[in-house]
Amino acid sequence: MAWLILSRWRPRCRRDPERPGHLRAGASEVELGYLFLPEAWGRGYATEACAAALRWCRTALPDEPVVLSTQLTNVASMRVAEKLGFVEVDRFVEYGAHQWFAVWAG
């Protein structure tokens, strides 16, 4: 019914390092991702699950930034992210679609 993913990146190269909030070689950050089937939409599951994951991050990885990206057309996902305290830092085109990139301000 749903996926919730926390991923800690230590990439060789990911995205454009000149864009604010994007990874740089040797840097690390936690990326939050979620995917819910349509029958679970609008019930608060994403907000609840992500809030629990972010509480864990605050304790276990207090100095690591948490980032999230979603397609700009996914207004519901952006609304969940904003409810959780994510702040937009960039918009860009990747994978053939406009993306929204945010950092957790929690």
Residues 19-49 have pLDDT tens digits of 544 544 555 778 888 888 888 889 999 999 9
Task: State the Cα–Cα distance between residues 92 and 71, nearest whole angstrom.
Answer: 9
Cα–Cα distance between 67 and 72 in angstroms, integer? 15
Q: For position 63, what pLDDT does the model report?
A: 86
Q: pLDDT at position 13, please?
A: 43
User: What per-residue confidence (pLDDT) applies to 19?
Assistant: 53
Assign a CATH topology to domain 2-104: Aminopeptidase (3.40.630)
pLDDT in tens, 8-23: 544 444 455 555 445 4
Domain boundaries in the chain?
2-104
Residue type, 9: W
